[in-house]
Amino acid sequence: GAVVSQHPSWVICKSGTSVKIECRSLDFQATTMFWYRQFPKQSLMLMATSNEGSKATYEQGVEKDKFLINHASLTLSTLTVTSAHPEDSSFYICSASSGQSSYNEQFFGPGTRLTVL
Amino acid sequence: SQQGEEDPQALSIQEGENATMNCSYKTSINNLQWYRQNSGRGLVHLILIRSNEREKHSGRLRVTLDTSKKSSSLLITASRAADTASYFCATVQLGAQKLVFGQGTRLTINP
């Protein structure tokens, strides 16, 4: 149980275009989803936390108008990178929490590699 | 912001040897977790240790937590080539939901 999927697993796009990444919890309801970004050979940096049905909470330094997050259902959250530029190229990972664990256990997706040309 | 510091940043050992990685953090925590990440892949949850626990085992993994020193260690015994990966500690602060990751240790097991 506790499987999280991401789609696509990789995407290449031209500079200036927008890219949408989906994160799905397959066998549980995710009240909270998290989006992380990871640059090569670096650690995961939390971008934002989204709770189903409410606006996402962005970490300091993350532009909410550039990284649009929608968490419209208990099994799906999307991250849209708007007007992507080469510096947005990164590995984007989502995680999901059911909120039922007292330790707020998160289950991670396999990640999406974004390359902006 | 990143609050975890891990050392070493990179570790290369021979298969069969034990590998020890350390993690330090700055604030009071609810729990600390260790994850493995193979190159270009997602995270695999290894073990969670609560703030009131001092040691935990899972197979060949042994995790210790010293809240007075705000540090944790991950020991992998009898290492295998398949253990080659990056290992991250992550903390959940008191009253918070989010995970704060350390910088990670890149472990290479040489056959």
Tell me the nearest-neighbour CA distance from A58 into chain B, angstroms.
12
Predicted confidence at residue A63, as pLDDT, reads: 94
- What region, left, alpha or beta, does residue B40 occupy, with left being phi > 0 and alpha being psi -120 to 50 degrees? left
Q: What is the pLDDT of residues A53-82, one digit of tens each?
A: 888 999 999 999 999 999 889 999 999 999
Top-confidence residue, A40 or B83: B83
Between positions 68 and 107 of B, the ones with CB within 8 A of A are 88, 92, 97-104, 106
> How many Å apart are CA B19 and CA B75, to the nearest integer?
6
User: What is the per-residue DSSP string for B50-98?
Assistant: ETT--EEEETTEEEEEETTTTEEEEEE-S--GGG-EEEEEEEEETT---
CA-to-CA dists, residue A3 to A97, A117, B16, B42, angstroms: 11, 31, 32, 12
Poorest-pLDDT segment among A10-14, A98-102, B40-44, B89-93? A98-102
What pLDDT is recorded for position A101? 65
In the stretch 17-56 of chain B, residues with CB closer than 8 A to chain A read 30-31, 35, 40-45, 48, 50
CB within 8 Å: A108 and B50: no
Neighbours of A40 (CB within 10 A): 9
CA distance linking residue B52 with residue A60, whole number of Å: 31
Chain B hits for A109, Cβ within 8 Å: 42
